[in-house]
């Protein structure tokens, strides 16, 4: 006879906007959570954890695994926010992994799902939500959604899950608080199993200060231009890829101000849908290159945006196509060398 497990799924937004401190603090939050849950005999006995990420697509990066065997893989970001694909994959994984109750055995407990996102889906999420809730007569999981920041459509999250939370910012301190609370929630959920019968829900009374519960209907869909945009670039020195993050100027609400640049991995797939049609004249300068701190940027006719020193050298070799560009006139593509605002 096998023990009844409490399956815990994390459905993590790994879109490009999560790059940098946000995804780092999710990574360390999950790692700390696992090591803490391992200290808890009750959790150790019952909880199994799985990680599903969504960005350009969705992937179960860690199958449902008992705590002692868990090894957290490295989270990787990609362009896009394919939450619909993430929800479909979640549903498939639950249907495949979670043991059902039969005549011979009691199945696993109803899974806990924690969805974490900072943006709006870029794929078809509505049919995924309908599928998730229509397949079975009883809910296949208790889903808790945590939205981070102002770009989130909280009304949408209310359709995905029963209970929606909001975190203002994704600073590492606040993300840490969030994971401390999630850890405590999983511990108390596993401790209450069996004592109350069905329950695998979490205690909503002990929310950390920065996490607020979102009541249904209390938020409207965000309108207007996106609050952040991203431009993929390459260092003209070491030729490595990076992404430049811009934030909408809160004063005028028209231009994007440089915010930070983050290293990308070489195999990072670029060309997120958010970037298409982005008018570079709306960008006010650029963030310094994260590798060499060059404070300018220019574009090659091949589409590669690259960092460039200021004042600009007479010519520069495109790290994308290898062409030699004269920086005075041939830096086409509408992305001129600009003084960094910083």
Q: Which residues bind Zn ion (CB under 5 A)?
A: 235, 237, 289, 291-292, 294, 300, 302, 304, 307, 318, 320-321
Give 18-67 as a 3 state SS string.
Answer: HCCHHHHHHHHHHHHHHHHHHCCHHHHHHEEEEEEEECCCEEEEEEEEEH
Q: Smallest distance, Å, CB 235 to Zn ion? A: 3
Q: Which residues contact 47 (CB under 8 A, 6 or more apart)?
A: 5, 6, 8, 37, 66, 67, 186, 190
Task: Report the phi/psi class of residue 197: left, alpha or beta, with left for phi > 0 and alpha for psi in -120 to 50.
Answer: left
Nearer to Zn ion, 302 or 341 (CB): 302
Q: Which of 158/320 has CB closer to Zn ion?
A: 320
Question: Could you tell me the smallest distance in angstroms from the CB atom of residue 322 to Zn ion?
Answer: 7
How are strands ordered across the β-sheet holding 142-148?
58-66, 47-54, 6-13, 112-117, 142-148, 163-167, 211-214
- Minimum distance of Zn ion from residue 293's CB (angstroms): 7
Nearest approach in angstroms of CB 318 to Zn ion is: 3
When the beta carbons of 9 and 230 are compared against Zn ion, the nearer one is: 230
* Closest CB 236 distance from Zn ion, rounded Å: 6
Of 204 and 321, nearer to Zn ion (C-beta) is 321
Cα(85)–Cα(263) distance, integer angstroms: 26
Is residue 113 a contact partner of residue 9, using CB atoms and an 8 Å limit?
yes
Between 172-192 and 21-38, two packed helices, what is the crossing angle to 10 degrees? 30
Q: At what angle do helices 83-97 and 126-134 cross, to 10 degrees?
A: 20
To Zn ion, the closest distance from the beta carbon of 259 in angstroms equals 17
Instruction: Decide whether 75 or 292 has the Cβ nearer to Zn ion.
Output: 292
* Cα angle 60, 73, 227; round to 5: 75
Nearer to Zn ion, 75 or 312 (CB): 312
Of the pair 204, 341, the CB lying nearest Zn ion is at: 341
The DSSP secondary-structure symbol of 272 reads -
Least Cβ distance, residue 323 to Zn ion (angstroms): 5
């Amino acid at each position: 006879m096998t023990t009844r497990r409490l399956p815990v799924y994390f459905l993590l937004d790994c879109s490009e906007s999560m790059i940098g401190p946000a995804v780092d603090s999710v990574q360390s939050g999950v790692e700390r959570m696992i090591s803490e849950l391992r200290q808890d005999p009750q959790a150790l006995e019952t909880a199994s954890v799985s990680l599903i990420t969504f960005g350009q697509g969705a992937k179960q990066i860690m199958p449902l695994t008992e705590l002692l065997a868990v090894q957290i893989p490295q989270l990787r970001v990609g362009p896009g926010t394919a939450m619909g694909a993430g929800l479909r994959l979640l549903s498939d994984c639950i249907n495949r992994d979670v043991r059902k109750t039969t005549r011979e055995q009691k199945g696993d407990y109803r899974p806990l799902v924690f969805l974490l996102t900072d943006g709006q889906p870029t794929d078809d999420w509505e049919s995924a939500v309908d599928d998730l809730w229509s397949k079975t007569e009883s809910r296949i999981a208790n889903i808790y959604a945590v939205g981070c920041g102002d770009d989130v459509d909280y009304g949408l999250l209310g359709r995905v899950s029963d209970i929606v939370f909001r975190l203002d910012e994704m600073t590492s301190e606040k993300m840490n608080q969030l994971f401390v609370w999630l850890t405590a929630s999983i511990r108390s959920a596993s401790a209450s199993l069996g004592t109350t019968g069905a329950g695998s829900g979490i205690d909503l009374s002990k929310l950390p200060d920065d996490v607020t519960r979102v009541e249904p209907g209390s938020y409207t869909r965000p309108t207007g231009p996106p609050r952040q945009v991203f431009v993929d670039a390459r260092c003209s020195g070491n030729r490595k890829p990076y992404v430049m993050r811009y934030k909408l100027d809160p004063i005028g609400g028209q231009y994007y101000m440089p915010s930070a640049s983050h290293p990308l991995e070489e195999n990072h797939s670029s060309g997120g849908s958010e970037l298409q049609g982005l008018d570079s004249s709306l960008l006010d300068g650029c963030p310094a290159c994260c590798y060499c701190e060059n404070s300018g940027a220019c574009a090659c006719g091949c589409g590669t945006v690259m960092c460039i020193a200021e004042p600009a050298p007479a010519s520069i070799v495109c790290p994308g196509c290898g062409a030699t560009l004269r920086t005075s006139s041939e830096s086409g593509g509408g992305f001129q060398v600009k003084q960094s605002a910083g």
